[in-house]
Amino acid sequence: MCTVLLDRGLTWTDVVAVARGERLALSDAAWTRIDHASALVAALVERGDRAYGITTGVGALADTVVDRGAQARLSRNILMSHACGVGPRLGEAEVRAIMAAQVANLAHGHSGVRREVIEQMLALLNAGATPEVPSRGSVGYLTHNAHIALALIGEGWVQHSGARVPAADALRRLGRSPVELSAKEGLSLVNGTACATGLACMALARAQALLEWADATAALTLEALGCQLAAFEGAVLALRPSTGIAAVGETLRARLSGSGLLAAAQGRRTQDALSLRAVPQTHGMARDVFVQTASAVDQELASVTDNPVVFGTVEAPTVRSEAHAVAPALAHAMDSFAIALAQVAQMSERRTDRLVNPLVSGLPVFLAADPGAGSGLMIAQYTASALASECRRLATPASLDGGITSALQEDFLAHPTAAAGKLLELLDDAEQIVAIELVAAAEAHDRAASRGRRAPANDRLHQWVRAAIAPYADERPLGPVLEQARALIRRASPTG
């Protein structure tokens, strides 16, 4: 097992590595920043300066002064009142991603959380003790973060070694005691955009794999349907400058190189339908948006998103309230990427329809082994169509939802967490849609084998699919076959 070292910050790929089981450690420089910020908060408390969430309440209670004796109680109470999520739990990888992003946020050195609190979070993270976090009920970040923070003080539940155990018991197993929170720590633990950012990192990882599979599966379909390769020539695609278009074009040319099927089909049509001809433009656009989204997520990880922030010296500490936790840029990026992936999914469903539709495929009706007595993949296309409709609904921007909370104090909401959450839901559907196309394309190649030899790269992919999924002949329920294909694309990269 490797260790990800946090020095100046993390990238989205670092967060994904930790989410998938790598350890996280902080450099000496990061610990120095943390200790300095903690000393600044202690100095502010000593001076009695008015500071949001330190010497006052939170939200609409920002003008309510909290005396020094109650400041630790305020920190604990914030966790208790904010841990009000509902619904199904987030996956352990998603929670670990949020924890990694939160540690990165605190390690910028402008929050004031003490070293021992961050050490507690790292101990849980690196031991694989993952707090249980309900997935629903947050307009921003507070709720998810609060459920994670509960485990630090021995409250709530964690998943550890495959079992659900009380957080206090998990800490004892690790030789640790619940931490006692000090001033500001409760607020800092629930604050910031770590929730949306962690979820966004996981979405990026899944989308990166999906885009590879979308290209490979499309190539399999293009060959089975006898597409016209001229549309994918490098000089043609270069007329629309785009790194993504160029990359997809190169992939398609490589995967279709040496195809006897395409050689036999050359000149058969003047031009192909757009779901075939526009693969570089649609998939390439999604790749360009991926790069923009990854940049926005890395920018978020490089940002201080706590409120308030502390800086200065112990002799002259400064605290400022600001709004970095709102994160409209992250919400916009998630919404934009959702739209891009929904288009990729829609195009995949259209290609599946062309594979099973005898009016345009030139292949047996619905790719059935025994047409009439068998329906083949007729209803698989229905499933893909239903999921494509759901993708369109999930692509509706969350960043425009608005909302008013905390007695008009928080009267603008950007919804980055909701945007990241629905992007993950959309990915569930998009992965399955591409998996359905993969099943259909493999069946189509079985039926088209007599027309010519497959391109070597496509032949390797077809053989790999067939090693895992037998041809379909209406002899078994189709649903598990489609789910099996989705499992394939989630656990491996396309071969060839």
Mean pLDDT for all residues in the chain: 92
- The distance of Cα 375 from the centroid of its chain, to the nearest Å, equals 36
Q: What are phi and psi of 26, to 5 degrees?
A: -105, 145
Percent of the chain with pLDDT over 70: 94
**DSSP codes of every residue in 285-305:** HHHHHHHHHHHHHHHHHTS--
Tokens of 439: 């099943």
Domains in the chain, please, with CATH? 3-191 (1.10.275.10), 200-491 (1.20.200.10)
Q: Which of 150, 154, 156 is nearest to 168 (CA)?
A: 154
pLDDT digits (tens, 9 = 90+) for 463-482: 999 999 999 999 999 999 99
Q: What are phi and psi of 133, to 5 degrees?
A: -130, 115
CB 307 within 8 A of CB 56: no
Q: Give the angle 62-68-69 at the CA atoms, nearest 5°.
A: 115
Q: In what side-by-side order are the strands of the sheet with 130-131?
A: 130-131, 157-160, 163-166
Please tell me the pTM assigned to this model. Answer: 0.94
Tokens 């789910």 sit at which residue?
Answer: 483
Tokens 């973060």 sit at which residue?
Answer: 145
Per the document, the length of the chain is 496
pLDDT digits (tens, 9 = 90+) for 233-291: 999 999 999 999 999 999 999 999 999 999 999 988 899 999 999 999 999 999 999 99
**Which residues have a catalytic role annotated?**
52
pLDDT digits (tens, 9 = 90+) for 368-392: 998 988 899 999 999 999 999 999 9
- Beta-carbon contacts of 245 under 8 Å, excluding residues fewer than 6 positions away, are 237, 280, 281, 284, 285, 288
Q: 6's torsion region: left (phi>0), alpha (psi -120 to 50) or beta? A: beta
CB 151 within 8 A of CB 89: no
The whole-angstrom separation of Cα 196 and Cα 175 is: 31
- Beta-carbon contacts of 451 under 8 Å, excluding residues fewer than 6 positions away, are 226, 260, 261, 264
Map residue 130 onto helix, strand or coil: strand
User: Per-residue pLDDT averaged across 283-301, rounded?
Assistant: 97
The whole-angstrom separation of Cα 26 and Cα 107 is: 8
Asked if pLDDT for residue 450 goes beyond 90, the answer is: no
Q: List Cα–Cα distances, 496 to 213, 247, 368, in angstroms.
A: 12, 16, 27
